[in-house]
Amino acid sequence: MLKRAFFSAVLVGALLCGTAGVSNAAGEGGAIVVPKKGAAFARKGTVTGPQGGTASGQGAGAVVKGKGGAAAGSGSWNGQKSSGTASGSAAFKKGSGGQSQTSVQATSKKTGQTKGATGSTTYNKSTGGSTTIETDSGKTYTKTYPPK
């Protein structure tokens, strides 16, 4: 579950930076890997979809072998039906747990209505954890996870 939370934070920055199937993509960034120690990466870029929609984003993260890691990403899009922003971050400690936060806000081009949501996940290997999503309309959704 923590790997998914970590991955979702990275996805916001990385997927919007040209790793999805698009008609045009440009980006820059890289990674540093120190054998037996850890790794770090940073990336930013823009994409244009086959029907003219655009997205841009950036992400960065680091992992220390045997310790844990953290990542953060943010992005925005402007498509045919909506435009918006998203961001996320995550951190974990090897063997014990971690947390992640995500937020998104989108505006419909048809109605002009803007909707958003925030989410957070915490997990501790000994006590379990939960994911909570809160919408800007006041609805809250929670899922709990047992300890391992």
pLDDT at 26: 78
Q: Strands of 128-135's sheet, edge to edge? A: 24-34, 38-48, 54-64, 68-78, 82-93, 97-108, 114-124, 128-135, 140-145
pLDDT at 51: 81
pLDDT at 23: 54
Residue 75 burial (CB < 10 Å; 0-12/13-18/19+)?
buried
pLDDT at 29: 87
What is the spatial distance between Cα 17 and Cα 26, in angstroms, rounded to a whole number? 7
Give, for all 148 residues of the chain, the pLDDT tens digit: 334 444 444 444 444 433 444 456 677 888 899 998 999 999 999 988 888 889 999 999 999 999 999 999 999 999 999 999 999 999 999 988 999 999 999 999 999 999 999 999 999 999 999 999 999 999 999 999 999 8
The pTM (predicted TM-score) of the whole model is 0.76
Between strands 97-108 and 114-124, the pairing is antiparallel
Q: Mind listing the pLDDT tens digit for each residue in 92-103? A: 999 889 999 999
pLDDT at 24: 67
CA–CA distances in Å: residue 119 to residues 34, 42, 98: 33, 23, 14
